[in-house]
A and B are shown apart, each in its own frame.
Chain A
Amino acid sequence: MQLKHYETLYLMHPGMSEDDRSAFGGKLQDIITQSGGQVVLCDPWPLQRLAYKVQRQTQGYYVLLEYGAPANIIADITRELRLNDQVLKFLTIKHGDKFDAEAILKAKQSVPADSAAQPEAAPETISPEEEVQS
């Protein structure tokens, strides 16, 4: 079946243990791989402050998954995320109808060089407030 390129970001309860979190991440990855899909990136973020309270929580663990999967599997992943009450928020985005794992991984390798150069450039970008005055 044709794979499409997806990305899922989900937010987990801050009280969850590391084992539980990685077990759930593994479960999602199993769903993807069992359907013939392929995970190119699984990136758990460190505990992070939220912009507003979600289910009375002020912090949480974000996990970013990037993968190729057949379209019908997205419903399964969504159901899995919805059924787990430790998942506070989730968002799945389709990047494209084509999934080329090699091209994505290659692009990923070239990105760190770019992003390393960017933090220096970032401070000199003009904030909107400054621009209004000029």
Chain B
Amino acid sequence: MTQQDYKANTAVRKRRVYMRKKICRFCADKKLHIDYKDAKTLRYFVSERGKILSARITGVCARHQRSLTTAIKYARHMALLPFTSSHVLSD
């Protein structure tokens, strides 16, 4: 990689740093509370494979991410959410 390329690369990367500041959905809307029984809402915070998405991706604040992970784990235990997509029931 030439020096030029490297510089071009960092320029691109730098631009990506200035992303729109994400706000936590649960802080923004106080009525929205995290409930392990609400699988529909929790699905926004897991990947296609069923893995919990990082707060960096979803923009959830640290405090709500903590309660979100517990909620997702409760939901998995109760078979409301899958542990992994490979166990998901097909129609």
Q: List residues of chain A with CB under 8 Å of any chain B CB.
A: 9, 11, 49-54, 58, 60, 62, 64, 88-89, 91, 93, 114, 118, 121-122, 125, 127-128, 131-132, 134
B67 to chain A, nearest CB (A): 12
Q: Which of B3-42 contact A (CB under 8 A)?
A: 19-20, 22, 25, 29, 31-32, 36-37, 39, 41
Asked, given contacts A49-B89, A51-B88, A53-B87, whether A11 binds B79 with beta carbons under 8 Å apart, the answer is yes
B4 to chain A, nearest CB (A): 28
**A-B contact sample (10 more), CB < 8 A, given A51-B87, A118-B32:** A11-B78, A50-B89, A51-B80, A52-B89, A53-B87, A53-B89, A89-B78, A91-B77, A128-B44, A128-B45
Inter-chain contact B44/A50, CB cutoff 8 Å: no
Q: List residues of chain B with CB under 8 Å of any chain A CB.
A: 19-20, 22, 25, 29, 31-32, 36-37, 39, 41, 44-45, 53, 57-59, 74, 76-83, 87-89
By a CB distance below 8 angstroms, the chain A residues around B82 are: 51-52
Among candidates A64, A88, A128, A131, residue contacting B37 with C-beta atoms closer than 8 Å: A64
- B contact face: mostly helix, strand, loop, or mixed: loop
B25 to chain A, nearest CB (A): 6
Inter-chain contact A50/B20, CB cutoff 8 Å: no
Cα(A88)–Cα(B79), bound, Å: 10
B24 to chain A, nearest CB (A): 12
By a CB distance below 8 angstroms, the chain A residues around B19 are: 134
What are 13 A-B residue pairs whose CB atoms fall within 8 Å in the complex? A9-B78, A49-B89, A51-B89, A52-B79, A53-B87, A60-B79, A89-B79, A91-B74, A122-B41, A125-B25, A128-B53, A131-B57, A132-B57
By a CB distance below 8 angstroms, the chain B residues around A62 are: 78
